[in-house]
Amino acid sequence: MANRNDHTPPLRNPGPAQRDDERGAQLIGGGDYQRLWRAAHACDLLATITEEVAKEHGIDPKHTAAVSEYIRDDMYQILSRSKPADE
């Protein structure tokens, strides 16, 4: 649905790239599982940083962006190492 300025926002939270065959359940190692938990907690912390908090504590937006990029890259690595459960 377009806004008043004819800008159509991107799809919210797109899923993984789809292949012809459905991937189904995926398995990850214990170390990657722990990394996902740490990434989830880091995302929770990032979500609590409001503009007021950032100004009050001198948090540069470049710092939060760098943390977000690190989390993204880490998650891509975890996903690339996951294996189909039926193998």
Question: 80: helix, coil or strand?
Answer: helix
Q: What is the pLDDT of residue 56?
A: 93
Q: What is the residue type of 74?
A: D
Q: What is the residue type of 43?
A: C
Q: What is the residue type of 47?
A: A
pLDDT tens sequence across 42-66: 999 888 888 898 999 999 988 888 8
Q: What is the pLDDT of residue 79?
A: 87
Q: Are 78 and 28 in contact (CB under 8 A)?
A: yes
* Band of pLDDT at residue 86, cut at 50, 70 and 90: confident
Q: What is the pTM of this model?
A: 0.64
Domain limits, the chain? 26-84
Helix crossing, 61-81 with 30-48: angle to 10°? Answer: 160
Q: How far apart are CA 20 and CA 40, in angstroms?
A: 30
